[in-house]
Amino acid sequence: MITLLNYTLAFAAILLLVALGGCVSEHSGVINLGLEGIMVIGALGGALVMKFMPNAGGFGLFLCVMLASIVFGVIYSSLLAVACINLKADQTIVGTALNMLGTALATVIVKSMNLSSSGGANTSSVVKYENKQAFFSNLGSFELNWFMVVALVMLAVVFVLLYKTKFGLRLRACGEHPQAAASVGINVFKMRWAGVLLSGLLGGLGGITYITTGVSEWKFEEGVFGFGFLSLAVMIFGAWDPVKIGGAAILFGFFRALGRVYNGIDFLKSLNIPPALYSMLPYIVCLIVLAFTSKNSKAPKAEGIPYDKGMR
């Protein structure tokens, strides 16, 4: 049961970080369907730091990895901002393209690095990294991933940012009625850029949290197994509210964790349920939950609509 708790909180932290990123972006008026790709690129940045700085101190390595993931995620999310805010491209198409590009780009970069470092003998897309224990602390039988703490901090930061600051008020205004916001002097383009870049920051952190939950190497061709899309479901189920998103992340994280540890729980093994069903559980729950809650969801009114100064 301790293992189930470990994985539940770890997966909840991933979903929470990425869902908060989607929440901030959509409150600014931009739908970020590219979170899956942002996660992959953010994970790439952190994995490269772990690979090339194996002898760094524990906390120093943690900070460097976190900063690299943030920088990579922010830079990659800027592609979405340019296309959707400045060029007014379709946000759904651009987000989908970023998801496909992210995995392909990371795979090409890693294969090229492995090829050059091995003299042409290694063309795999695997990044091996050491000192992963710098991100963990053992509290008895419980293993604390420090990115869980980062996720909780980010939950508090996003809540305060959205509901307790002028910046948050202006950001939400741009997602509800950008023309009205512009009429009182708010720069809608800048606010939407800020929302998208913040989603890149949080998505990048979600990506590195995802790969540090697993083994000490990562094959980037595998991507992040739909966690970006699952995070969007968490965001919708949480009604674009950070606190509710936190609760939804724990729920979805629990069902995702069952697929990882069911072999170690005697009660679940005695049910003789096909293993594949446990892996499908979070997505089945996602469909059921959204079927019953999507009608009552109140998304920002102007999300997905390119801002045009001439519209009223």
89 domain residue, yes or no: yes
Q: What is the pLDDT of residue 122?
A: 64
- Phi, psi angles (nearest 5°) of residue 137: -135, 135
Copy the structure tokens of residue 124.
Answer: 């795999």
Distance between start and end Cα atoms, the chain: 56
Q: At what angle do helices 91-117 and 35-52 cross, to 10 degrees?
A: 20
Question: What is the pLDDT, as a whole number, of residue 126?
Answer: 83
Q: Per the domain annotation, does 179 fall within a domain?
A: yes
The answer to whether residue 275 sits within a structural domain is: no
| Residue 287 belongs to a domain | no
pLDDT at 131: 65
Task: Identify whether 271 is part of a domain.
Answer: no
Task: For 111-167, write each residue's pLDDT tens digit.
Answer: 888 877 766 666 677 887 766 677 777 777 777 888 999 999 999 999 999 999 999
The C-alpha angle 58, 60, 62, rounded to 5 degrees, equals 70
State the CB neighbour count (10 A cutoff) for residue 217. Answer: 15
Say what the pLDDT of residue 200 is.
97
pLDDT digits (tens, 9 = 90+) for 1-53: 667 888 899 999 999 999 999 999 999 999 999 999 999 999 999 988 888 87
Strands 136-139 and 142-145: antiparallel
Tokens describing residue 171 = 């950001």
Q: How many domains does the chain have?
A: 1
Is residue 251 in some structural domain?
A: no
For 63-86, the pLDDT digits (tens) are 999 999 999 999 999 999 999 999
Q: How far apart are CA 164 and CA 223, in angstroms?
A: 36
Identify the pLDDT of residue 78: 97
**Has residue 273 got a pLDDT over 80?**
no
Q: Does the pLDDT at position 176 exceed 90?
A: yes
Q: Answer whether residue 46 is part of any domain.
A: yes
In the predicted structure, residue 297 carries a pLDDT above the cut 90: no
Q: Can you give the residue range of the structural domain that contains 94?
A: 10-225
Average pLDDT over residues 269-291: 77
Q: Which two tokens stand for residue 294?
A: 């999507």
Establish if 159 belongs to a structural domain: yes
